[in-house]
Chains A and B, each alone.
Chain A
Amino acid sequence: MRKKCGLVFLALLGGVLFAGAFAGPVSGETRSRSLERVLAKGMFDAGESARLQRAFAAARQAGVDERDALALVGAGIEGEFDATQSLRVLSIATQLALEGLPIEGFLAKVEEGVSKRVDADLVVKVAEHRALALNQAKLILNALVLQGFSVADRDEVLPDLAAALEAGRKPEDARAILAEALQSGDRPGAIRRKLFP
């Protein structure tokens, strides 16, 4: 009986490890090949490619999803970003990840600019503005937490708040709306409607 239990446990453990090995993140080798394939489409010299690879590794280390980091580099190449502009967007993504902020909205703004064929400098500037809005939203939520409010649905509220700030809502107004909504126990959907009447 004991032997059987041991065998069952080992089989389960083996299964979990086996599945983990195939379902987990891709290996470092595959990752760098994906990046190399993307970089090969750009017009970077060897030094610039090396710097981008280091920035990419830093972004991954900070917690940026591999597909998002590759999409950022890919969008930069499509939008004819130079190395400095590509490094800038990777660096902003890294900072967002380090701050625990979502990078989807930032990536979307870069993709929007590239898709609209806007000048690369302006794309980076506007995307950076979105990153600042996310950071400002985080500061507002942190301030409310310090006041004693419980922000249970932070992951949902934060991008909505950032979008409202980006749309021109004043931080103090947004904070007052949130405070009132949290006080009355509103769900994220209701908060969203109050931020975007």
Chain B
Amino acid sequence: MLYCEDVELMLQDYLNGYLLHSQRELVEGHVHGCGRCRDLVTGLTRMESRLDGLGEVEVPAGLSRSILAALPPHAYGPPPWRRALTWGAVPALALLLVVVGFLARGRLQIQGRFAAREVEIVLSAPQALSVAVVGDFNNWDPQRTRLVRSNHEGLWRARLQLPPGVYQYSFVLDGSSWVSDPLAKTMLSDGFGGKNSVIIVDG
């Protein structure tokens, strides 16, 4: 099956009679069912027959010379856009370097200001088999940040890299039990009937 774009590509060969029989059938099949392509073929056929109807014209001797003589001298040189590009290359390059420098400097400053701080989170849960911390910093996904049991008394720890800001978080024990951080200085209602712990990371 052909699309209009395919037919347009094959149209000139079709009109010149260069297509194979099978190709020709495919094009004709499409043109038969497509009003747009049919109009295109009809128009081109009509134009071709009118062009054929025009008589042959003899090229006058010295035509190229007389055309060139009528042109202004700068027309022989490179086009204006190319000259502008050549002369503009050095300032453009300098401008580009300046812009890149400013962007890099700005990015470094922003990175410095929002640089992540390491925060350690600890929970005592001797009975737990697994502990995860979930919060604004990890899409509240219990699979993302698991705590590691650090001793036999059941102390679980995790180190987080957090940019300055205020974060709400909670612990998930054994994949299902949600527990607030008893060491958190601030606790907030989560709006869903439970409580979240709050951690403030200084900038």
| Chain A residues close to B by CB (< 8 Å) | 2-3, 5-6, 8-10, 12, 16, 71, 104-105, 108-109, 111-116, 118, 122-123, 126, 129, 156, 159-160, 163-164, 166-168, 187-189, 192-193, 196
Contact = CB atoms under 8 A, between A and B. Distances in A.
B192 A159 contact: no
Contacts of A193: 200, 202
A192 B166 contact: yes
A97 to B, nearest CB: 19
B93 A115 contact: no
- The SS class assigned to the A binding surface is helix
Given A160-B166, A189-B202, A8 B136 contact: no
A2 B86 contact: yes
Contacts of A192: 164-166, 200, 202-203
A192 B139 CA distance: 22
A23 to B, nearest CB: 14
B125 interface: no
Nearest to A166: B188
Contacts of B62: none
Given A2-B87, A113-B192, A126-B192, A189 B164 contact: yes
Interface of B: 82, 85-90, 92-93, 96, 113-114, 134, 136, 139-142, 164-166, 168, 178, 186, 188, 190-192, 194, 196, 198, 200, 202-203
Contacts of B113: 156
Given A129-B191, A189-B203, A9 B92 contact: yes
Given A6-B85, A6-B89, A156 B190 contact: no
Contact of B140 (A108, A166, A168): A108
A85 B111 CA distance: 36
B203 A9 contact: no
Given A115-B139, A196-B166, 15 more contacts: A2-B86, A2-B89, A6-B82, A8-B93, A71-B139, A112-B134, A112-B136, A114-B140, A115-B134, A126-B190, A129-B191, A156-B113, A159-B166, A164-B166, A187-B203
Looking at B90, B93, B134, B203, which has the most chain A CB atoms within 10 Å of its CB? Answer: B203
Nearest to A162: B166
Closest 3 CB pairs of A and B: A9-B89, A126-B191, A189-B203
A122 B190 CA distance: 11
